[in-house]
């Protein structure tokens, strides 16, 4: 687990690339075990590949590209199912980011 510095997270790919990869990979594995693996894979490859993690106001958030449900073209699925699965996937990534960086809900990083 890396010591987390919010200021260093502004240049996250230079400072925390390995940790980001681990969080996304852990989230993918969890989602793949619990949900339709084809849908999870499509979301991973067609939506989350262009997502951007941010640390703001004491928490992580994932910014998604515009019209994420429209990007899922690898399989035919109802938009509602895509959105529900994507929402859960984003929650999983945010939780994994907290875990990888050793931050529990409400914990403030040491600066």
Q: Where are the domains of the chain?
A: 6-100
Residue 64, classified by CB atoms within 10 Å of its CB into exposed (0-12), middle (13-18) or buried (19+), is middle
pLDDT at site 104: 74
| CA 52/CA 39 separation, integer angstroms | 20
| CA 96/CA 102 separation, integer angstroms | 10
Rounded to a whole number of angstroms, the CA Rg of the chain reads 14
Average pLDDT, the chain: 91
Report whether pLDDT(82) > 90: yes
What is the phi-psi region of residue 89: left when phi exceeds 0, alpha when psi lies from -120 to 50, beta otherwise? alpha
Full-model pTM = 0.88
């Amino acid at each position: 687990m890396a010591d987390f510095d919010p200021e260093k997270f502004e240049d996250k790919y230079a400072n925390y690339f390995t940790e980001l990869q681990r969080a996304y990979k852990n989230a993918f594995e969890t989602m793949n075990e619990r949900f339709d693996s084809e849908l999870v894979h499509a979301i991973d490859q067609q939506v989350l590949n262009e997502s951007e993690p941010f640390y703001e106001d004491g928490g992580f958030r994932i910014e998604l590209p515009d019209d994420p449900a429209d990007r899922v073209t690898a399989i035919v699925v109802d938009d509602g199912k895509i959105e529900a699965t994507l929402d859960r996937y984003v929650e999983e990534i945010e939780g994994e980011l907290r875990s990888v960086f050793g931050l529990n809900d409400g914990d403030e990083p040491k600066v």
